[in-house]
Amino acid sequence: MHDSRANPNEAPACPGPLEIQQHLPTRFKVPRGAVDTHCHVIGLPPEYPFVAGRAYTPPAASARDYLAMLDATGMTYGVLTQVSVHGTDNRLMVETLRAHRQRLRGIAVIPLDCPEREKAALKDAGVVGLRMNVLYGGGGVDFTQIENYGALCRDMGWHLQFLLDARDLPSLAPRLSKLPVPFLVDHIGHFPTSAGIDNEGFQTLVSLVRDGAWVRLSGAYRNTVEGPPYRDTIPFARKVVEAAPNRCVWGSDWPHVANWGVMMGVADLLDLLADWVPDEKLRNRILVDNPQRLFGFPAVT
DSSP string over 134-187 = -SS--TT--GGGHHHHHHHHHHHT-EEEEE--GGGHHHHHHHHHT-SS-EEESG
Average the pLDDT over 184-212 and give the result: 98
Query: In this structure, are residues 150 and 161 in contact, taking their beta carbons and an 8 Å threshold?
Result: no
pLDDT, tens digit, for every residue of 232-280?
Answer: 999 999 999 999 999 999 999 999 999 999 999 999 999 999 999 999 9
pLDDT at res. 133: 87
Average the pLDDT over 64-86 and give the result: 97
- Buried b / exposed e over 106-116, threshold 16 CB at 10 Å, is bbbbbeeebee
- The C-alpha angle with vertex 37 and arms to 35 and 42, in degrees rounded to 5, equals 120
pLDDT band at 131 (very low <50, low <70, confident <90, very high): very high
Which of 66, 107, 61 is CA-nearest to residue 88? 107
Average the pLDDT over 140-160 and give the result: 92
Strands 77-81 and 35-39: parallel
- Residue 108 backbone phi and psi in degrees, to 5: -100, 165
User: pLDDT at residue 7 above 60?
Assistant: no
User: pLDDT at residue 5 above 80?
Assistant: no
User: pLDDT at residue 4 above 80?
Assistant: no
Q: Does domain 28-295 have CATH number 3.20.20.140?
A: yes
pLDDT at res. 148: 96
pLDDT band at 139 (very low <50, low <70, confident <90, very high): low
Element (H, E) at 41: none
pLDDT at res. 2: 30
pLDDT band at 138 (very low <50, low <70, confident <90, very high): low
- Buried b / exposed e over 129-164, threshold 16 CB at 10 Å, is bbbbbebbbbbebebeebeebbebbeebebbbbbbb
Angstrom distance (rounded) from CA 221 to CA 269 = 9
Provide the residue ranges of all domains of the chain, joining segments of one domain with +.
Answer: 28-295
pLDDT at res. 76: 98
Rounded to whole angstroms, what are the CA distances from 44 to 2, 58, 64, 103, 239? 10, 9, 15, 24, 39
pLDDT band at 140 (very low <50, low <70, confident <90, very high): low
Strands 183-185 and 35-39: unpaired
The helix/strand/coil state of 282 is: helix
pTM flag (> 0.75): yes
Catalytic residues: 253
Average the pLDDT over 180-197 and give the result: 98
User: pLDDT at residue 207 above 70?
Assistant: yes
Which of 84, 89, 80 is CA-nearest to residue 139? 84
pLDDT, tens digit, for every residue of 90-130?
Answer: 999 999 999 999 999 999 999 999 999 999 999 999 999 99
